[in-house]
Structure 1
Amino acid sequence: MTDWTSGNAAEDGQPTRGWLVGHFIDPSEGVRSSNDVEVKWGIHPAGDKRPEWTSDDQRTTLVLLVEGHFRVDVTDGSKTMERPGDYIMWGAGVDHSWEALADSVVMTVRWPSQT
């Protein structure tokens, strides 16, 4: 196992629906395999959405807009992100869903990484 890696987020995340780091990455991938954090590079065409809501997730999540126009709905509110750098963050027990209002790229960070 190596202590460092490099690559392309869009390419390296393809086998895992955009997820680059997490417990589900094979340990042979080195530092990308982690029980502490999960990182996703999400490429979403306009109209792409998660119609179902999460249920009682016990992690902290940060969603950061890289480009596009993206909405995240949480248990008691909603955030529409329009400018690169806009973000929404929530803690354990907050349910969510999302929709790409235009072609969008978002980076999601969740911790801890859980099965």
Structure 2
Amino acid sequence: MTADWHTGNANDETATRGWLLGHFMEPAGSMRATGDLEVKWGVHPAGQSRPEWTTGEKRTTLLLLVSGTFRLDLPGDSVTLERQGDYVLWGAGTDHSWQAVTDAVVVTVRWPSVV
């Protein structure tokens, strides 16, 4: 790694639970530690879920399906991503939870990256 570029493989980011960018990345001051956005490569086995709802979210979020089937639960509705490239975008303050219907890979982008 140099100050101007970084390379890696998202599947190897187990220590950061798949997060590639965000204010919380170490070491502080590296290219990956940014307050502008957060990016995650999420590999989820079938049946994995977040049964509790995420509340009080302060970021806008984009969830993009790479493979599999993934359901996002939003207040009063659910969105199932089934076709590669399907995505859902939701704004700050929108509560949510999710479930991997089948083995699934998703990319999550949130902005800004806030504590």
The aligned amino acid for 1:47 is: G
Identical-pair percentage = 58
Quick check: which one's helix share is greater?
Answer: 1
State the Cα distance separating 1:49 from its structure 2 match: 0.2
State the Cα distance separating 1:27 from its structure 2 match: 3.2
TM-score by length of 2: 0.94
SS at match of 1:114: coil
* C-alpha distance in 2 between matches for 1:111 and 1:27: 20
Q: Does 1:2 align with 2:3?
A: yes
Q: Which aligned pairs between 1:52-91 and structure 2 lie closer than 5 A? A: 52-91=52-91
* C-alpha distance in 2 between matches for 1:92 and 1:58: 5
Which consecutive segments of 4 or more residues in structure 1 shift more than 3 A?
none
Point out the more displaced range, 24-33 or 43-52: 24-33
* C-alpha distance in 2 between matches for 1:112 and 1:27: 19
Is there any run of 5+ residues in structure 1 with no aligned partner, and where? none
TM-score by length of 1: 0.94
Is there any run of 5+ residues in structure 2 with no aligned partner, and where? none
Q: Let me know the Cα RMSD of the aligned residues.
A: 1.3
